[in-house]
Amino acid sequence: MDSSARQSLKRKLAEEVKDSLCKRVPPTFTSIILKTLFLLNSFDHVLLNKLITILVKLCKTTKHEIHDDFIDILVNNGAVQALVRILHLPEKVVEDYSDRLIQARLLQLKKGCAFILGTLAKKSVYQQLIIDAGAFLYLLRLLKSHKTIPKSPSVPGFLRRVVDAISKLAYKNNKVKMLIRKEDGIAPLIELLEFKVKKVQVAVTNALGTLAFDNAHTVTKMVECNALPSLVLMLQSEDSVTQFTTVQLIKIMVDTSPHIGREVLKAGALTPVICLLSSSFSESQALAALLLGHFLGTDSDLKVHISQRGAIPPLVHMLQSQNTNLRKASAFVLVILAQDSHNQVSIAHSGGIEPMLNLFQSDNPTVQQYAARVLYSLADNEDIVANIIKVGGFEKLKDLHFTEEPISEFVAITLLRLERHMQGRTLKYLIHLMCSAEERVRNHVVIALAHLCSPPDHETVFIHNEGLELLLNILQSQCTIQKRKASMALSMLASRANFISSLIQTISPSPTSQMDLGEESINNPKLSDITFLVEGKIFYANKDRLVSSSVFQTMFEAEYFEKETKQAVIPNIKWDVFKLMMRFIYTGTVDVKLDDAKDLLRAADQYLLQDLKLICERVIAKSISPENVSLLLDLSEDFSANTLKNACILYMLEKFDRLHSKRWYYTMLHRIVPDIDTLFSTLLIMDQSNEDASVAYLY
């Protein structure tokens, strides 16, 4: 394809692009744009001012969905070249440069051109085109000459638009950033930080932020140009926007060049940054918190200085914000501050524990982890443990479940730390709270103590100081959540005191039981002097072997056996069950299967064989389930089977979550409250190391 053909094709493609753009942008709108661009070739600066004003208005009012098309139309129809030409007009066409009216018009004209160029530069594909047209260097030249411009109401707006245009051309463009440094463009920007108009200061800090982002050389140059003193002053501005853009710039600087953080501190930024924690602008608060975190990373000794300057109360207040980023930033700083024991106390006394616990409700795992780490630190301080517990911190931590392993580990260790401090003055203070504080606090404390205090302290806490009574009151609450907490607390109390294992452990016969007489003596006609008729079958027995049962002794004394046959009829016991009972009487041991346990329990109760009865109760207790616990509790009451009853009670407490939805549960739970009181009152005063004592009670 020859050169003329290629040129023809390019023209055709250009026309197609133009037509396409015009189809998306309303025709009347396009017509105005094209006519305005055509007239920009005029040398009449009054007309040019009107034309630029029209384009500026179009830039501001064009709908978002066609804004890119609008920019394309401007660029493709020579707007860049026309705007650059206009920027040079003053020195070519103005005859009376001293005329203030003309000067104001020229500044207004330049201001509009800079604004439009900044708008075009938003599309990064046009940045280089604008630079190649000479606009960038001329904008820098205008910036450098700001001190020579005669004072005028138009000057602030003009400077702001020039700075904005430079900023947009430098956005994500390292070549432009390097060019600005090469052309000494940083210094005039730093000088403008002291300009008295806030909007200019804001524009400059935004531009410096763009230049500093991910560009350490620019940051270094800014420090060399003495930017920090001006920035520290701007941090203390009464204007929230100025505060925000300034703290944002400083944050960008320290992120880009970490060693700059020390320079910022030397410039006196610490106190102003801490003051920004109380800003009404949440973005400023978050950035200030993150800056403090950075400062702490450079100097660990700052923990005390930051706390002394009053940072902790506003940081705690930020934890209660609805803004996730604000909570996250605050928690991040508190993680570091909480490594100091004095700061830990300050966090607690500033009301930080409850907001920190509430952070676990966040969907953000990072926020949750920060909360876990702060509480992990606080729980290691003896002066704070009671504060955590009395606001319900233990209960919340215990009920939490996390998918993130690090969070789970921090929470687990926090709970262990709370348990470790359940002694001495901490325990005494908690007992005091349990006895004298308001009901909500008392409930939190007693539930925590049930889980945390050691068995040797159980009698003191729950008997002498009526902790058990308080737990039983909570258990009878109308609130399901409170019932659950009390139920779990009592279950844990039983577990820590080793109640449950004592209920179901294997037991040896008591000293009053018969010695093992051997298998051959059971149902032996040769050794028999009496017989029993059970379900039509004869069982051969010996009086001397039956003395362990007072019931049998009574039968002998009352001449219950027939004189001639010396036989007694047993009407209400199955043959297999009777044999098992006799085996126990003769040998002191018996292998009780679950299928026979209930009938054998009935027989043992009837014949007052306490050791056999206990064996049966424990066999049955091992079979307790959600489906049968209510029936077994009734069974235990029918036969005065205290061991089985206590096992059912503990099962009902432990399995609250599985049982509370059953219709019978709450009625039965309230019914057995006196039994729960009796069980725990007795067991809590026993020597917890003496398992035999626990077992003995169960009879």
**CATH number of the CATH domain containing 623:** 3.30.710.10
Q: What is the model's pLDDT at position 532?
A: 87
Question: Are residues 525 and 646 located together in one domain of the fold?
Answer: yes
What total number of domains does the chain contain? 3
Q: What is the model's pLDDT at position 546?
A: 77
Question: Are residues 624 and 552 located together in one domain of the fold?
Answer: yes
Contact 287, 249 (CB under 8 A): no
Question: Are residues 75 and 209 located together in one domain of the fold?
Answer: no
Q: What is the model's pLDDT at position 105?
A: 77
Question: Are residues 87 and 187 located together in one domain of the fold?
Answer: no
Q: What is the model's pLDDT at position 191?
A: 94
* CATH number of the structural domain spanning residue 237: 1.25.10.10
Q: What is the model's pLDDT at position 338?
A: 96
Across residues 277-299, what is the average pLDDT?
92
Q: Grade residue 682 by pLDDT with cuts at 50, 70 and 90.
A: confident
Question: Are residues 206 and 111 located together in one domain of the fold?
Answer: no
Across residues 296-325, what is the average pLDDT?
92
What does the DSSP 8-state code read for residue 44?
-
Burial of 338 (0-12, 13-18, 19+ CB in 10 A): buried
Q: Grade residue 29 by pLDDT with cuts at 50, 70 and 90.
A: low
Q: Where are the beta strands (DSSP E) in 521-564?
A: 530-534, 537-541
Q: Grade residue 698 by pLDDT with cuts at 50, 70 and 90.
A: very low
Q: Cα(478)–Cα(523) distance, rounded to whole angstroms?
A: 58
Neighbouring-strand partners of residue 531: 540, 567
| Residue 226, domain member (yes or no) | yes
| Residue 290, domain member (yes or no) | no
Q: Is the pLDDT of residue 695 over 50?
A: no
Q: Grade residue 300 by pLDDT with cuts at 50, 70 and 90.
A: confident
Which tops the pLDDT comparison, 98 or 401?
401
Query: Cα dihedral angle (78, 83, 89, 90), rounded to 10 degrees?
Result: 180
| Residue 642, domain member (yes or no) | yes
Specify the range with the lowest mean pLDDT, choosing from 44-53, 381-390, 479-488.
44-53
| Residue 112, domain member (yes or no) | yes
Q: What is the mean pLDDT of the chain?
A: 85
Question: Are residues 8 and 93 located together in one domain of the fold?
Answer: yes
| Residue 418, domain member (yes or no) | no
DSSP string computed for 452-480? HS-GGGHIIIIIIT-HHHHHHHHHT-S-H
Given 267, 296, 319, the domain boundary residue is 267
Q: What is the model's pLDDT at position 70?
A: 80
Question: Are residues 1 and 59 located together in one domain of the fold?
Answer: yes
Across residues 320-340, what is the average pLDDT?
95
Q: Is the pLDDT of residue 369 over 80?
A: yes
Q: What is the model's pLDDT at position 18?
A: 44
Which tops the pLDDT comparison, 281 or 559?
281
Q: Is the pLDDT of residue 511 over 50?
A: no
Give tens-digit pLDDT for 417-468: 999 999 999 999 999 999 999 999 999 999 999 999 999 999 999 999 999 9
Q: What is the model's pLDDT at position 359?
A: 96
| Residue 626, domain member (yes or no) | yes
Question: Are residues 19 and 64 located together in one domain of the fold?
Answer: yes
Q: What is the model's pLDDT at position 235?
A: 95
Given 224, 245, 267, the domain boundary residue is 267
Alpha-carbon distance values, 361 to 457, 484, 489 (Å): 34, 21, 23
Q: What percent of the chain has pLDDT over 70?
A: 84
Q: What is the model's pLDDT at position 78?
A: 85
Q: Grade residue 64 by pLDDT with cuts at 50, 70 and 90.
A: low
Which tops the pLDDT comparison, 2 or 307?
307
DSSP string computed for 426-457? HHHHHHHHHHHS-HHHHHHHHHHHHHHS-GGG
Q: Grade residue 560 by pLDDT with cuts at 50, 70 and 90.
A: low
Q: Which domain holds residue 525?
A: 519-663+691-697
Q: Grade residue 495 by pLDDT with cuts at 50, 70 and 90.
A: confident
| Residue 197, domain member (yes or no) | yes
Across residues 584-595, what is the average pLDDT?
90
Question: Are residues 540 and 617 located together in one domain of the fold?
Answer: yes
Q: What is the model's pLDDT at position 519?
A: 74
Question: Are residues 649 and 590 located together in one domain of the fold?
Answer: yes
Contact 254, 260 (CB under 8 A): yes
Given 267, 300, 324, the domain boundary residue is 267
Q: Grade residue 159 by pLDDT with cuts at 50, 70 and 90.
A: very high
| Residue 593, domain member (yes or no) | yes
Question: Are residues 230 and 134 located together in one domain of the fold?
Answer: no
Which tops the pLDDT comparison, 70 or 580?
580
Give tens-digit pLDDT for 599-637: 999 999 988 889 999 999 999 999 999 999 999 999 999
Question: Are residues 103 and 240 located together in one domain of the fold?
Answer: no
